[in-house]
Amino acid sequence: MNRAPYLFLGIFLALALSFVGLVLSNQISYGDFSTHIDEDEGKAFPLPAAGLAAQGKLVYQDLGCVSCHTQQVRREGFGSDVGEKSRGWGERQSVARDYIRETHVLLGSQRVGPDLRNFAARKNANGTDHTAASLYAYLYHPQAVVKESNMPAYAYLFKTQPIIGQGSAKALKLPAALGYEVVPSPRAEALVAYLLSLKDTYAYPETKNVYTPPAPKAVKSKESHK
């Protein structure tokens, strides 16, 4: 192997094969994947994100939340994401169509914190729904809500201001200094709106047919979720 031109040609062909085989083929096969139009509901799924939630996604990105949180619910057989005796992180596994409206897909690679793909459809640790107020309290001081949490506090997304008149309706229920209240900044409001918009509950045709779970009892549990 002493001829440089053949070496260069070989390297070029191998890279081209990898590019065509993996990047180009995927772009061609599902790069123009479109929404699913549900004629009964008269809507195209996935639904577009509301304005504030779209801004919140930028806050999510800018604070690097993706370093610790994934946004993909894996099918049965992978961890305990879905199905019976699972953490109930989703009602079904995530599919490619869930992400087609997103300019930046943030699948993530670490679960230092829980998966957030279906966050808004889940319950709190104490069984209640997630609300803006509960999320503000958690973001402001996570360890005050869940003692074991290793999430950093996002107190800089809030501002402490003197109470004027009746005080802000959005103020956090905290034992703040007398005459002061803690209110979320616009960025915190956007982030919380985004977190509350994370909901993949619509069942596409492909979520019913394509990924057939291996065990028969798993099929049953999927049917029950429809």
User: Hey, which residues between 23 and 52 contact another protein (CB under 8 A)?
Assistant: 23, 26-27, 29-33
Q: For the purposes of burial, counting CB atoms within 10 Å of the CB of 73, is it exposed (0-12), middle (13-18) or buried (19 or more)?
A: buried
Segment contacting another protein by CB under 8 A, of 126-134, 139-147, 158-166, 167-175 = 139-147
For another protein, the closer of residues 88 and 167 by Cβ is 88
The interface with another protein within residues 64-93 (CB under 8 A) comprises 64-68, 70, 72, 74-75, 77-80, 85-88, 93
Task: Report, in Å, the least distance between residue 7 CB and another protein.
Answer: 6
For another protein, the closer of residues 114 and 186 by Cβ is 114
For another protein, the closer of residues 149 and 197 by Cβ is 149
For another protein, the closer of residues 28 and 50 by Cβ is 28
Structure tokens, 43:
């809507």
Task: Report, in Å, the least distance between residue 166 CB and another protein.
Answer: 30
Among 53, 55, 56, 97, which residue sits at the site for another protein (rule: CB under 8 A)? Answer: 97
DSSP string, the chain: ---HHHHHHHHHHHHHHHIIIIIIHHHHHHTT--PEEETTTTEEESPPPPHHHHHHHHHHHHTTGGGT----PPPTTSTTSSSTTS----SS---GGGGTT-SS----S--SS---TTGGGSB-TTSPBP-HHHHHHHHH-HHHHSTT--PPP-GGGEEEEE--TT--TT-----PSTTEEEEE-HHHHHHHHHHTT-------HHHHHTS--SSHHHHHHHHHH-
The Cα 136–Cα 159 span in angstroms is: 12
Task: Report, in Å, the least distance between residue 181 CB and another protein.
Answer: 20
Task: Report, in Å, the least distance between residue 124 CB and another protein.
Answer: 12
The interface with another protein within residues 143-202 (CB under 8 A) comprises 143, 146-157
For another protein, the closer of residues 7 and 177 by Cβ is 7
For another protein, the closer of residues 163 and 208 by Cβ is 208
Residues 6+ apart with CB under 8 A from 134: 124, 128, 145
Number of residues that bind another protein (CB under 8 A): 80
The interface with another protein within residues 98-117 (CB under 8 A) comprises 98-100, 102-112, 114
Task: Report, in Å, the least distance between residue 153 CB and another protein.
Answer: 5
For another protein, the closer of residues 171 and 204 by Cβ is 204
The Cα 7–Cα 160 span in angstroms is: 65
